[in-house]
Amino acid sequence: MAGQLNVELVAVESKVWSGEAEALYARTTEGELGILPGHQPMLGELQVDSVVRIVPADGPERSWRIEGGFLSVTTDGVTVLAETAEAVESAAA
């Protein structure tokens, strides 16, 4: 059973994105992290000036440049709490 992640990306000023996703990729202060359905619960500090990538269940990959914050993985899903989040264009050209 493939499963999906319930993901919320929130910046200080507003909710940036939420929905079902197949995967989420982020850089923490400990290194690059890939979150798939069924991932163990964890809390990580996001690397300043890094990119969070989300692979939605129903569309193309989306990316945001973030300026630090935290990533929380629970049995209910993934929450990214970023200082700032600015959408970046896809590298596929």
Q: What is the pLDDT of residue 3?
A: 87
Q: Structural domain boundaries of the chain?
A: 5-88
CATH topology of domain 5-88: ATP Synthase; domain 1 (2.60.15)
Q: What is the pLDDT of residue 1?
A: 39
Query: What predicted TM-score, i.e. pTM, was given to this entire model?
Result: 0.90
Q: Does residue 74 sit in helix, strand or coil?
A: strand
CB distance 19 to 57 below 8 Å: yes
62-82 pLDDT tens trace: 999 999 999 999 999 999 999
CA distance 88 to 30: 23
CA distance 71 to 44: 5
14-68 pLDDT tens trace: 999 999 999 999 999 999 999 999 999 999 999 999 999 999 999 999 999 999 9
SS3 readout for 3-47? CCEEEEEEECCCEEEEEEEEEEEEEECCEEEEECCCCCCEEEEEE
Is the model's pLDDT at 90 over the cut of 80?
no
Q: What is the pLDDT of residue 89?
A: 83
